[in-house]
Amino acid sequence: MPALGADMEAGTIIEWLVKPGDAVRRGDIIAVVDTEKATIEVEVFETGVIQNIVVGKGEKVPIGTVLALIRTDGEAVLPPTEIKPKPVAAPPPIPPRPPTPPRIEKPPLAEVPPITPHRLRVSPLAMRAALDLKVDLSTVKGTGPDGAIIKADIERAAKAAVAAPPATPAHPTAPAVEAAVTPAPSAPSAEGPKLVPPRKPTIAPADRQAAMRKAIAAAMAHSKREIPHYYLGAHIDMSRAMTWLQAENLKRMVTERLLYSVLLLKAVALAVREIPEMNGFWTDGAFKPGAAIHVGVAISLRQGGLIAPAIHDVDKKSLDQIMVNLRDLVKRVRAGVLRSSEIADATITVTSLGEQGVEAVFGIIYPPQVALVGFGKIAERPWAFNGMIGARPVAMASLAADHRASDGHRGALFLAAIDRLLQEPEKL
Amino acid sequence: MTATAKTVRITYREAMRQAIREALLRDPRVFLMGEDVGRYGGCYAVSKGLLEEFGPERIRDTPLSESAFVGAGIGAAMGGMRPIVEIMTVNFSLLALDQIVNNAATILHMSGGQFNIPVVIRMTTGAGRQLAAQHSHSLEGWYAHIPGIKVLAPATLEDARGMLWTALEDPDPVLIFEHGMLYNMEGELAADAGAVGIDKAAVRRSGTDVSLITYGGTLGKTLQAAEELARAGINAEVVDLRTLRPLDSETILESVTRTHRTVIIDEGWRSGSISAEISARIMEGAFYELDVPVARICSAEAPTPYAKHLEEAAVPRVSTIVETVTGMVGARG
């Protein structure tokens, strides 16, 4: 079970897309895993033949558990092994104790399973009312003690549902996740696109949302607790970049036009080449530079929450390739279908809240990464240049960086590099 | 309410005295004994005048030994009498705990059903009179734990007047807890008031928004709180338990089923209390009726203070009841 995020502890196999005997190649999607955040396609990193599948469909196992065995070329065919998955939360096997003479002992402490905190708070009466009135509890806002859902909330929700019938489908679990059931877009595989068959979601939307909120809370609290952030900001004159982009887009079909975000992503990736301390992970008390430049893109979800999957090797890709990747990523994030490598291995994150009108972003680093670049809105501002004042489109670029991995001076150079790169958009 | 031909103005103390007097008149096997019940007229003046009327054979002053005179009462009951034993306060009843719990409550069972113990033991309970920690506690909940005895808590004039006779009729030991703050309570009582049942709790005020479950000394405060709540538009139902053992679960659960919200008001301490038992029964029997968690208002878990303001702060108050209910029902939106 791959770690599909710094905060992931376990995952559930939703679907196996291969069976024993199938040949697999590095990069193939072999399984679909459900985590607290999303449904994720697991890619294989070995080329060989699936010997046997260890963890069955529907099982939830901790990260690091062997999911399947792959026989690589040249390896002998082995008899099916006896590897058994370790189920989540099962207590470790207790070795049989040698019989001891009876004596008075302290009663042993029982193994207590952890409490799951994200259960919906619904009063028993409200629960009954929800069943009677066919109200989806996940859509109801509680007004009872500590936000619990009480009967009056259910009645209110039922009344509202009657008032606006088409907006709320009668069936509770259907809406958002049904979208996730659509086949995943093409996976770059040698045999051509492999379609993921439709599947039933294992986690209800409300639970997923609560779980995501919990995961974000854990990661962000961890970040603020552990990472000594420093923050820098710089105004960047975007006139050249915007002018170039406008001219470029005029030459293109509507479907092939570029978003300015692509310029920002590419500029960040190229700047990272110059200042590598911004790219990589802080783990085990040391900075480990990223082997490649995978830029995480913060994408907010319509139902709340956000996810920051990576676009791989941004520095090596053309603007068009990045645009294709970005479009695909946004679509799949919103549909809830991501690939394991996208989730796990961003080496730096970019967040752009400019569309919401903010001027600057003071970001929180997504651990174990060491830097997060934020862009505010691009707005026309008075801008002095060569002793003249003119109106130019300007954006505030901000950097939140891990002071353990880099210092303010390097951070400043990094922002300066982004600025410089954006002044020559044609070279991006 | 004004006095009419059919009612008389009376205090709780007087109602209790009439009950004892009626029992003495009706049944020659009935006698009263306890500390200072005779010449002094009872330390709460409940038995004032009875010695003069019935003589020292039937109104007996006892030595200051709760264990001895409660034991004598149990013996007399076994011998065919119908004794009313008065213990000054529930705190002192602890000296007779062995007689009550090990003897009165068990003899029927241990004799294979040969000997009933038709003794009635009355005692004062509760705080509010600046009598400090050794005279002010509410331990009736403890007694309600014991199978083999009945535990009554008359909170109204009717019950003060009517429970004693029914208790004496009962073939088994009955404990009557009279809250010390109730003796001076005055009101109208039917002139022909008599025996009342002791099996059922009573809904003293019907309502739809919340069930306030209480007994004894906190009934008056609870009814007062219900009035205040009514002015704020909250319609509270008040259940007077009347009998703490056996508990009338049916009435409690019916009320909760009507209102879906419950606050239990109990002058006893919260931990291991009768309020805890009631809450558990509601959870067991009406879980799917609950719209909010059951709340409890109990006494501060400390020995009852002597200082007046501290004593008032330690026990359930009208304002606390009102605030708790408002917080609970206000959430209905």
Q: Return residue ranges of chain B for CATH 3.40.50.920.
A: 202-332
Contacts (Cβ under 8 Å, ≥6 apart) of B55: none
Q: How does pLDDT run across A351-364, given as a tens digit for each residue?
A: 988 777 888 888 99
Per-residue pLDDT of chain A (428 residues; tens, 9 = 90+): 888 776 677 888 888 888 888 888 888 888 888 877 778 888 888 888 888 888 888 888 888 888 888 888 766 665 555 555 555 555 555 555 555 555 555 666 776 766 655 567 888 999 888 888 888 888 888 888 888 889 988 988 888 877 765 443 344 333 333 333 333 333 333 443 334 444 444 556 677 778 788 888 888 898 998 899 999 999 999 999 999 999 989 888 888 888 888 999 999 999 999 999 999 999 888 999 998 999 999 888 777 778 888 999 999 999 999 998 888 888 888 777 777 777 778 999 999 887 778 888 889 999 899 999 999 999 899 999 888 898 999 999 999 999 999 999 999 999 999 999 999 998 88
Are A148 and B292 in contact (CB < 8 Å)? yes
The one-letter amino acid at A392: R
pLDDT of amino acid B196: 97
- Among B289, B331, B333, the residue with its CB nearest the CB of A125 is B289
CATH class belonging to B202-332: alpha beta
Closest to B218 in 3D by CA, of B267, B271, B183, B263: B267
- Cβ contacts (< 8 Å) between B287 and chain A: which residues? 124
Distance CA A389, CA A171 (A): 60
Query: Can you identify the CATH homologous superfamily of domain B9-190?
Result: Thiamin diphosphate (ThDP)-binding fold, Pyr/PP domains (3.40.50.970)
If you count DSSP H runs as helices and E runs as strands, how many of each does chain A have, helices first?
9, 19
**A to B CB pairs, distance under 8 Å:** 39
| Residue B289 contacts A where some CB pair is shorter than 8 Å | yes
Amino acid at B237: E
* Contact criterion met (CB below 8 Å) for B317 and A131: no
Cβ–Cβ < 8 Å for A41, A184: yes
3-state DSSP helix/strand/coil percent for chain A, to nearest 5?
30, 25, 45
Domain locations along chain A: 1-88, 124-175, 207-427
**Rounded-to-integer distance, Cα B54 and Cα B37, Å:** 12
Q: Comparing C-alpha atoms, which of A363, A398, A365, A395 is closest to residue A379? A: A395
CB-based burial label for A66 (10 Å; 0-12, 13-18, 19+)? middle
Q: Please tell me which of the candidates B290, B331, B332 has its beta carbon nearest to residue A124.
A: B290
Residue with token string 């038709």: B118
B48–A contact, CB cutoff 8 A: no
Q: Supply the CATH classification number for the domain A1-88.
A: 2.40.50.100
- B 186-205 near A (Cβ less than 8 A): none
Residue given tokens 């009279």 in the structure block: B178
Q: What residues in B contact A150, CB-CB < 8 Å?
A: 291-292, 331-332
- Residues of chain B short of pLDDT 50, as ranges, are 1, 331-333
Q: CATH 3.40.50.970 in chain B, residues?
A: 9-190
Angle between helices A260-274 and A319-335 (to 10 degrees): 110
Active site residue B135: yes
- Among the listed residues B14, B35, B86, B135, the single catalytic one is B135
Task: Tell whether B260 lies on the interface with A, counting CB pairs under 8 A.
Answer: yes
Tokens describing residue B222: 């609870």
pLDDT tens-digit profile of A205-258? 677 778 788 888 888 898 998 899 999 999 999 999 999 999 989 888 888 888
Q: Which residues of A touch B260 (CB under 8 A)?
A: 125, 151
Report the pLDDT value the prediction gives residue B332, as an integer from 0 to 100: 46
What pLDDT, on the 0 to 100 scale, is given for residue A178?
33
| φ and ψ at residue B272, rounded to 5 degrees | 65, 35
DSSP H helices, A251-305, are: 260-274
Helix/strand/coil for B274: helix
User: Running DSSP on this structure, what letter comes out for residue B183?
Assistant: T
CA A138, CA A107: separation in Å to the nearest integer?
Answer: 42
Does the beta-carbon distance from B291 to A123 stay under 8 Å? Answer: yes
Decide: B9 and B179 in contact? Cβ < 8 Å. no
Q: Tell me which of A121, A125, A127 to substitute to probe the interface with B (most B C-beta atoms closer than 10 Å).
A: A125
CB contact under 8 A, A125 and B260: yes
Asked if A125 and B331 come within 8 Å (Cβ–Cβ), the reply is: no
Tally of CB atoms within 10 A around A375: 26
Could you name the CATH architecture of A207-427? 2-Layer Sandwich (3.30)
Residues 6+ apart with CB under 8 A from B323: none
- Does B330 reach chain A within 8 Å, measured CB to CB? no
**How many CB atoms neighbour CB A321 within 10 A?**
15
Query: Which one, of B179, B101, B100, B103, lies nearest residue B135 by Cα?
Result: B179
Q: Is the ipTM, as predicted for this complex, more than 0.90?
A: no
Q: Residues of A near B (CB-CB distance < 8 A)? A: 123-128, 143-145, 148, 150-153, 156
Active-site residue B145, yes or no?
A: no
| Chain A nearest C-alpha distance from B257 (Å) | 10
SS3 assignment for A41-56: EEECCCCEEEEEECCC
Q: Residue B152: which of B246, B84, B221, B59 has the closest Cα?
A: B246
pLDDT of A180: 33
List C-alpha distances in Å: A233 to A240, A348, A365, B241: 20, 17, 15, 70
- Most A CBs within 10 Å, among B291, B292, B328, B329, to test the A interface: B291
**CB contacts, 8 Å: B323 with chain A:** none
What was the pLDDT predicted at A190?
A: 40
pLDDT of residue A369: 93
